[in-house]
Amino acid sequence: MNAHLIRGVRPLGGEPADLLLRDGVIEAVGTGLDAGGADVVDADGLVALPGLVDLHTHLREPGREDAETVESGTRAAALGGFTAVHAMANTDPVADTAGVVEQVWRLGRRAGWVDVRPVGAVTVGLAGERLAELGAMADSAAAVRVFSDDGNCVHDAVLMRRALEYVKAFDGVVAQHAQEPRLTAGAQMHEGALSGVLGLQGWPAVAEEAIIARDVLLAGHVGSRLHVCHVSTAGSVEILRWAKSRGVAVTAEVTPHHLLLTDEQVRGYDPVFKVNPPLRSTEDVDAVRAGLADGTIDVVATDHAPHTVEDKDCEWAAAAMGMTGLETALSVVAEAMVETGLMGWDDVARVMSHAPALIGRVAGHGRPLTVGEPANVTLVDPAARRTVAVGQMATQGRNSPFAGRELPGRVVATFLRGVPTVLDGVSAHPLVGADA
Ligand SMILES: [Zn+2]
């Protein structure tokens, strides 16, 4: 059937080895392996990682196919080195029923670029008033395990408690978008010296930290799993460190853009830098990097948020919040964490594959690169440098904050169960019916 011999690759950045992928699994690992009829991929100088897993992607379908579709978003994901993504629930209609999550899951299978794991809404219509059909979504063909009102905060403490209690029955996790709504009404950028200078309504760090503090206490109280989306402040890292030291089952993610960019980017009022939560201070960037390196933050998640030009390319106050990220995430992590010496490629595998697969309960992903494991593999050239060109991306979104910027690292190939979705840095024919 399908076989590839990846010759001379460095698994997790270690010593060179050959990887033989056949019939969807890693059949052999060693040196001087016999191709035995397999297609040979010369991977001299490349690093092999387990296929990346994104806990936080906005694919926009159903409802905003003018901004992104499951097909375009997952093709972008494969080009970014991903083999599985979680599709956020803030679509139209909202993914708050078994019917909608199954629709998204089927669209993902049909596209075949990555395994799509739909996220279910916590509350009906993301309205924060009553719980959605969490059990029905968990029992559906989409087998939802991650629940989130992302875009909105589950700010009612009683509802949040009920959601945390409810998901325990099926080993689910509530992923909170931590934003106290009253403290951020009308907020436009990080609250600091610069927001005063620019005359933009500030978004205080405490609005994020207050919700995280409350939620780790709730999660500890009911003994349930909590995941915190896009952590952006030094104070949030401190609270998470405290909660983990107390044994609370909390995990957290940081986005690539919060690892690299600061509120200084907002000076030119270019809405490409408008995002929720906002770009923060240099001290915050240093803190989230340190938190990721020491394991306080478990995961890098893209928060890939494509928008149409009409929604994004307008005056600052009117522009939609969000940035694309799938096709630049690995390069940004290489720049912020690997080239700075804060992490090695084995750590990148941990935060971009192992940990997100474990949190999302994604079977067959985030596994070690050893014999018998599913052949979900990404090859990256760590020495390559490239200038980000939004016109050449697969995502329909043109709102990359890294446009025109030179970044290290290039995804050369992505294999989903042994079948290449990306070869030589370009899309290859995908599997049909991906997570069969
Ligand atoms: Zn969010």
Q: What's the CA-to-centroid distance between 152 and ligand 1, angstroms?
A: 7
DSSP code for 189: E
Q: What percent of the chain has pLDDT over 90?
A: 97
Mean pLDDT of the chain: 97
Q: What is the DSSP string of 329-392?
A: HHHHHIIIIITTTS--HHHHHIIIIIHHHHHHT-TTSS--S-TTSB--EEEEEEEEEEE--GGG
Q: What is the mean pLDDT of residues 33-59?
A: 97
Can you say whether the dihedral through the CA atoms of 208, 210, 213, 216 is positive or negative?
Answer: negative
- Residue 41, pLDDT > 70, answer yes
Please enumerate in sequence order all residues whose Cβ is within 8 A of that of 296, keeping only pairs 6 or more positions apart, or say none.
Answer: 237, 240, 241, 244, 252
Encoding tokens for residue 359? 């949190």
Task: Say if CB 84 and CB 118 are below 8 A apart.
Answer: no
Question: What's the gap between Cα 227 and its chain centre?
Answer: 13
Positions marked active-site: 303
Query: Tokens 């950028």 belong to which residue?
Result: 189
Q: What's the CA-to-centroid distance between 276 and ligand 1, angstroms?
A: 6
Q: What's the CA-to-centroid distance between 382 and ligand 1, angstroms?
A: 30
Q: What's the CA-to-centroid distance between 179 and ligand 1, angstroms?
A: 9
DSSP code for 405: -
**pLDDT tens by residue, 139-177:** 999 999 999 999 999 999 999 999 999 999 999 999 999
Residues with CB under 5 A from ligand 1 (ion): 150, 177, 229
Q: For 108, list phi and psi in degrees, rounded to 5.
A: -65, -45
Q: What's the CA-to-centroid distance between 230 and ligand 1, angstroms?
A: 7
Helix axes 70-79, 98-111, angle to 10 degrees: 50
Q: What's the CA-to-centroid distance between 348 and ligand 1, angstroms?
A: 22
* pLDDT for residue 429: 75
* pLDDT for residue 181: 97
Encoding tokens for residue 311? 């929604």
* pLDDT for residue 432: 56
pLDDT band of 287, cuts 50, 70, 90 = very high
Q: What's the CA-to-centroid distance between 78 and ligand 1, angstroms?
A: 22
Q: Give CA–CA dist 181/194, Å, rounded.
A: 22
Q: What's the CA-to-centroid distance between 18 and ligand 1, angstroms?
A: 40
Task: Say if CB 56 and CB 85 are below 8 A apart.
Answer: no
* pLDDT for residue 436: 41
Q: Which of 25, 39, 22 is nearest to 428 (CA)?
A: 39
Q: Give CA–CA dist 32/233, Å, rounded.
A: 48
* Amino acid identity for residue 123 in this structure: T
Q: Give CA–CA dist 196/199, Å, rounded.
A: 5
**pLDDT tens by residue, 373-425:** 999 999 999 999 999 999 999 999 999 999 999 999 999 999 999 999 999 99
Q: What's the CA-to-centroid distance between 386 and ligand 1, angstroms?
A: 29
Q: What's the CA-to-centroid distance between 57 and ligand 1, angstroms?
A: 10
Q: What's the CA-to-centroid distance between 120 and ligand 1, angstroms?
A: 14
Q: Give CA–CA dist 409/390, Å, rounded.
A: 17
* Amino acid identity for residue 140 in this structure: S
Half-sphere exposure of 347 (CA within 13 A, CB side): 19
Gyration radius of the chain over CA positions? 20
Encoding tokens for residue 41? 């991929």
Q: What's the CA-to-centroid distance between 58 and ligand 1, angstroms?
A: 10
Q: What is the mean pLDDT of residues 274-295?
A: 98
Q: Give CA–CA dist 56/288, Å, rounded.
A: 17
Q: Give CA–CA dist 244/250, Å, rounded.
A: 7
- Residue 65, pLDDT > 60, answer yes
* pLDDT for residue 431: 58
Half-sphere exposure of 220 (CA within 13 A, CB side): 14
Task: Say if CB 18 and CB 31 are below 8 A apart.
Answer: yes
